[in-house]
Amino acid sequence: MHFHHFVRRIPDWRAAAISGSVAAVVLAFVVLMLVWATGGNVLGPLRMVAAIAFGDALFVSSSSFDFAMTLVAAVVHLTLSVCFALMLALVVAQFKFDSSVPMASVVGAIFGLLLYVFNFYVVTRAFPWFAYARGWVTSLLNVAFGVIAAITYLRLARQHAAAAER
C-alpha cells in the first residue's frame, strides 16, 4: 500500500500553467455552450468575470457585445485558472498524488469542489454577483476544472520528466 505523505518536491510549474490554461479554455467553452443551449445570454458569464476587474458598474452598461469587456474577462479567467492550477500542482507534487491518473483525478475533483466553495461562498463577499451562479451545475463545472487540470498536469509533467531524462 502506498501512503501519500508530504515530501518536498518542486512541481513542474510549466506543466501546471499549461494545465490551468487548458482547463480554463475547456471550462469557458462548456459554460458558454450551456448558457447558449439553455437560451441564456452568453454575455452574462463574461460580464460576471470582467466585473472582477471593472467593478459592478459593468452590469448597468449596455448589454451588447463589448470587445474590451470580453478580453478582460478572458484574461481574468485565464489568470485565475493558471493560479488555481499552480496551487493544485503544488498539492499534487508535495503529496505524491501524481502516482496515477485515478489518484490525480480524485485529488483534482476534491480541489475543484473546494474551489467552488471558495469562489462561490467566500469570494462572493467581495464580488456578490457570483452568488447568483451557485448551484449543482456550477459545482460540477468546478469539479471538472479540477479533474481536467490534474490529468493534464500529470501527463505534461510526466512528458517533461521523460524528455529531461533523455
Domain count, the chain: 1
pLDDT bucket at 66, cuts 50 / 70 / 90: confident
Could you tell me if residue 27 is inside a domain? yes
pLDDT for 48: 92
Residue with cell 487548458: 22
Q: Is residue 3 part of a domain?
A: no
H/E stretch holding 22: helix 13-37
Looking at residue 166, its amino acid is R
Structural domain contains residue 2: no
Q: Is residue 117 part of a domain?
A: yes
Decide if 49 is inside a domain.
yes
pLDDT digits (tens, 9 = 90+) for 110-164: 999 999 999 999 999 999 999 999 999 999 999 999 999 999 999 999 998 888 8
DSSP string covering 31-93, please? HHHHHHHTT--THHHHHHHHHHHH-GGGGGS-SS--HHHHHHHHHHHHHHHHHHHHHHHHHHH
Residue range of the domain that includes 103: 13-165
Q: Per residue in 15-58, pLDDT tens?
A: 999 999 999 999 999 999 999 999 998 888 999 999 999 888 77
Residue 67 belongs to some domain of the structure: yes
Asked, for residue 8, whether it belongs to a domain, the answer is no
For helices 13-37 and 43-54, the axis angle rounded to 10 degrees is: 130
Instruction: Give domain status of residue 160, yes or no.
Output: yes
